[in-house]
């Protein structure tokens, strides 16, 4: 059974609140809360604000990682959700976290790829 789902997605023409594109603390707090609520153990996280631009965030969890990159000037967000686990299937949790990003950013269009890793 394949148990490691890696979701890679681009969210276009996002209509979510502007603060989730440009405010580091808003992005960090919401995402960390979501990861904890999904039941993952956060090992480390790092978020960076680019001048007047967007945010890049990396969250390392015991099961792998999440990354986010925002481009407020393009209303574009890129996310990478990967929760590997060899003892249980985390695919539902990975999809739930990804769907959280969609609700937060409200894209008009999404380009999403699911890659199964062994």
Express each pLDDT in 43-96 by its tens digit. 999 999 999 899 999 999 988 899 999 999 999 999 999 987 767 778 888 899
Active site residue 14: no
Judged against a pLDDT cut of 60, whether residue 2 lies above it is answered with no
The CATH code of domain 4-113 reads 3.60.90.10
Active site residue 64: yes
Placement of tokens 């007047």 in the chain: 52
| Token code pair at residue 77 | 């967000």
What pLDDT score was predicted for residue 5?
Answer: 87
Q: Which of 45, 65, 69, 91 is catalytic?
A: 69
The pTM score is 0.91
Q: Which of 62, 64, 65, 88 is catalytic?
A: 64
What pLDDT score was predicted for residue 48?
Answer: 97
What pLDDT score was predicted for residue 90?
Answer: 82
Active site residue 45: no
Q: Which of 45, 65, 84, 91 is catalytic?
A: 84
DSSP state of 40: P
Judged against a pLDDT cut of 60, whether residue 21 lies above it is answered with yes
């Amino acid at each position: 059974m394949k148990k490691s789902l890696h979701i890679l997605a681009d969210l276009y023409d996002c209509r979510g609140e502007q603060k989730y594109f440009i405010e580091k603390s808003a992005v960090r707090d919401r995402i960390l809360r979501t990861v904890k609520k999904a039941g993952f153990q956060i090992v480390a996280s790092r978020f960076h604000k680019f001048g007047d631009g967007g945010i890049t965030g990396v969250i390392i969890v015991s099961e792998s990682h999440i990354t986010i990159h925002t481009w407020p000037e393009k209303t574009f967000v890129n996310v990478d959700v990967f929760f590997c686990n060899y003892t249980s299937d985390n695919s539902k949790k990975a999809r739930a976290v990804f769907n959280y990003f969609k609700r937060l950013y409200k894209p008009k269009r999404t380009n999403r790829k699911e890659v199964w890793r062994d």
